[in-house]
Amino acid sequence: MDSYKIRSAAHASGIRLDAEQSEQLAIYGDLLLAENKKYNLTRISGEEELVYEHFIDSCYGVAIAGRSGAAELLDLGSGAGFPGVPIKIFCPQLKLYLLEASRKKIAFLQLLAQKLALKEVFFLQGRAEEIGRREGREAYAWVTARAVAPLMVLAELALPLVRRGGYFWAFKGPAAGLELKEAEEIIARCGGVLLEEISYRLPPRGRERHILIFEKVEEAEDRFPRRVGIPQKRPLRKL
């Protein structure tokens, strides 16, 4: 991909990248487009979609709101690396943990980190329900997740991983407000409080995006997250 084009598209959205960062995104794009043909890692129809819907969407919130001083980030259900890897490229000092259930996607992420020569990236292959009951419980200063599950499910997976005083960023589409209502009870029981919402539209079609930022103010109740599959099967819906 053309790193200059990526750089100017990012600048037009208020995201300032240097030459090295734009080059890393270009390499990321090439690798993803090539590997996607073999393994179907994510849905992308072309380069423009990749730039806006994946790279810019991943970095926008961090570029405008900063990252709350956290030195580490866990990206839950990272898939082909979103939003965790573009955020790491944007903030190279960050320690990045990629949590992903699929082995095939972890293999892609490992290859990607190697090609981009990223330092301090760690791979956790497994389920958030399990890691959130064990070594990952109340462990991370900052957790992100995009396109993993509705918020009432996602909050149960993500908030137990966040350390007290840390943050969870849920990347959401136009249904963010509704999802937030449905998730009120599980958010509270997992110790989260809504702190801020970042709303924006993605060029070129103006797709509506919201990042809901939660602060972890208390420990999650012991019973959360429930066993693998239960948060999805029996979400604690409020409405």
By CB under 6 A, is residue 78 in contact with ligand SAH?
A: yes
Contacts of 69 (CB under 8 A, 6+ apart): none
Identify which of 124, 72, 79, 118 has the alpha carbon closest to the alpha carbon of residue 98: 124
Q: Give me the phi and psi of 110, to 5 degrees please.
A: -65, -45
Structure tokens at 36: 């996607």
Q: x/- contact string, 89-128, with ligand SAH (CB under 6 A)?
A: ----------xxxx--x---------------------xx
Site residues (CB under 6 A) for ligand SAH, limited to 149-188? 157
Residue 53 and residue 202 in contact, taking contact as beta carbons nearer than 8 Å = yes
Would you say 19 or 175 has its CB closer to ligand SAH?
175
Q: Measured in Å, how far apart are the chain's first and last C-alpha atoms?
A: 45
Identify which of 97, 15, 101 has the alpha carbon closest to the alpha carbon of residue 55: 15
Query: Residue from 29, 61, 77, 192 that binds ligand SAH (CB under 6 A)?
Result: 77
Rounded to a whole number of angstroms, the minimum distance from the CB of residue 49 to ligand SAH is 12
By CB under 6 A, is residue 61 in contact with ligand SAH?
A: no
Candidates 145-153, 180-188, 199-207, 210-218: pick the segment binding ligand SAH (CB under 6 A). 145-153
Which residues would be at the binding site for ligand SAH (CB under 6 A)?
42, 77-80, 82, 99-102, 105, 127-129, 146-148, 157
